[in-house]
Amino acid sequence: MTNRMLFINGEVYSESAVLPNGAVAVEDGKITAVYQSLEEISDDIRKQSELIDLNGALLLPGFIDVHVHGGGGFDTMKSSTEPGSIDGLSRFMASHGTTSFLPTTLTDEAGRLVEVVSEVSRAMSAGTGGADVLGVHLEGPFLNPIRSGAQNPDDMRTATKEELGRLLEASGETIRLITLAPELPGAMELIGYLTEKGVTVSIGHSDATYEIVQQAVAHGATHVTHLFNGMSPLHHREPGVAGSALMLDELTVELICDGLHVREELIGYVFRVKPKERVILVTDAMEAAGLPDGEYMLGKLPVVMKCNRVTLKEGGNLAGSALTMDQALRNALKFTGRTLEEILPALTLNPARQIGVNHRKGSILAGKDADFVVMGRNLELLQTYVRGHEVYHRSKTEV
C-alpha cells in the first residue's frame, strides 16, 4: 500500500523559501509537494494522507554530518569487531537531528581499514534504524605526521594506488570523502585518480604551502577537513593550508562549531569571507559524545572527556569532539548572529552537494527524500524523520 503523509501547521524551511504556514506532502518516503498554505491542498490529498500536525513547530531539512567518528558509545573503528556499531551510531545521530552521515575512519593498519570500510558498506546495504549511511569518510592514513593531531602518527603513510584500490573495492565503491595531505609523495596523481572515481578529496592533517594547496585544487581537491585544526596555520608570508582555505573559493571548509576547536568570533569571520555554499558544519564527534565525563578511546589512543572537552590523555591535544549537529546549529546562530535561514545550508544542502547526494538529500524539495528535523521555537529537537519514517521522538523525560 502507498504510504502518504501530510505535514501541516508548521514553519517550513524549503529549499527556496521559508513558509510560515507551509505544508509538505510525502509519499513512500519521498517529498511529493511543498505548499505555501493549507488552502493549496486538495480535499483528496487530505483524505488520503496521514496528517502530521506540527502545531507551529519548525520543519527543517535533516542534518548531514560528513565527518563523525562515533557517539553514544559507538565507534566507526570498532564496527568490524562489535556488531551493530554503525546501527547504534545511526540511532544516536538521529536523536540529535542528523538524518544521514558518513561514518569516519581513523588512521590504522591497512588490514584493519579494509575490515572497517567493508563493515560500513555492509551496514549501508542492510539499512539502519536511525540516520542513513551515505558512505565512508576515510580520514587517514595518508596524512602528514607533523600535523597528526589526535591520530596515531605511527600508522600514517604515503598513499599508493594499490592500497586505495583495495579500500575502494572493500567499501563497495562507497568511499565518498577522503582526507589526505597533498604534500606527500605521489599525492597529486592520486587526487586526480580519486576525483575521476567520484570521490571528494579533502586537504587535512597537512603541512602544505599555499602553492601546494593550489596544485591540489588544480588536480581536483575541493574540501578542507576541520578548518584551522591539524594544518599549517596562516602566516603573513606563508598562508599555509588555513590561509589557502580562506583565500581559495574552490575549497569548501569544515567547521567544528563547539567553541573549543575554533574561536567563536572566527566562526563568524569564516561565514563572512567564504562563499555561502562553501561552509559546512561537522561534529568530528567520537564515542564519548552523549556520555558522561570519563576516559575513553579514540582509535588506539586513550582520551579524557571533561565538560564536553575531549583531549588526549597524554599531551592534552583536542581529540575529536562531543558535539552533536543540533548543538552545532544553535552554536552557529549564537556565534555568528546570522539567521536560521542563512546557517541551515551549512548543515544540509552544502554537505549534500559536497558528497554528490544533493539530488536526493539536503533540502525540502519535491522529489527528494523526506528527511526532516522538527524543532520547537527555541530550537529544541522534537522529532527526526528519515525517508518519511519517524526515527526519533522527544520523550517527556527529555523536556
Q: Which residue has the cell 506532502?
A: 25
Q: Name the stretches of the chain with pLDDT < 70.
A: 1, 396-399
Clarify whether 284 is annotated catalytic. Answer: yes
Give the pLDDT score at 396: 62
User: 212 with 190: CB under 8 angstroms?
Assistant: no
Phi, psi angle pair for 354, to nearest 5°: -65, -30
Q: How many CB atoms lie within 10 A of CB 265?
A: 9
Rounded distance between C-alpha atoms, residue 38 and residue 386, angstroms = 24
Residues linked to residue 302 through DSSP beta bridges, in sequence order = 297
DSSP state of 189: H
**Positive or negative torsion for Cα 77, 78, 83, 84:** negative
The closest alpha carbon to 284, from 330, 319, 331, belongs to 319
Rounded distance between C-alpha atoms, residue 92 and residue 56, angstroms = 26
Give the pLDDT score at 315: 86
Q: What is 4-61+362-398's CATH topology?
A: Urease, subunit C; domain 1 (2.30.40)
Task: State pLDDT tens for residues 11-30.
Answer: 999 999 999 999 999 999 99
Residues linked to residue 10 through DSSP beta bridges, in sequence order = 22
Phi, psi angle pair for 343, to nearest 5°: -85, -35
| Architecture category of domain 63-354 in CATH | Alpha-Beta Barrel (3.20)
Of 75, 132, 284, 326, which is the active-site residue? 284
| In the chain, domain spans | 4-61+362-398, 63-354
Give the pLDDT score at 316: 87
